[in-house]
Amino acid sequence: MWKEENNQLTRQFEFADFSAAFAFMTRVAMLAEQHNHHPWWSNVYNKVEIRLSTHDAGDVVTEKDRRLAEAIDRL
């Protein structure tokens, strides 16, 4: 579930292993390109943390972030 805090949408995902986490990140990268909106993220072994905010709007959460979060959830 996405959380809105500190002017960011954040969510942590957990996978079976590093390969599954990396495959997810690859799919998110393709989505980000389609949305022309690129997340901050971190990956450690089987965990991926994503943070979304819109830099052009002053680093706050906008509809652009919500749309990308929804697209990520559909993966």
Sketch the domain layout of the chain as residue ranges. 3-74
Map residue 62 onto helix, strand or coil.
coil
E-strand spans in 1-75? 3-5, 8-14, 40-44, 47-52
pLDDT value of residue 71? 97
CATH code, residues 3-74: 3.30.1360.20
Q: pLDDT averaged over consecutive 10-residue blocks of the chain (75 residues)?
A: 97 98 98 95 98 93 97 96
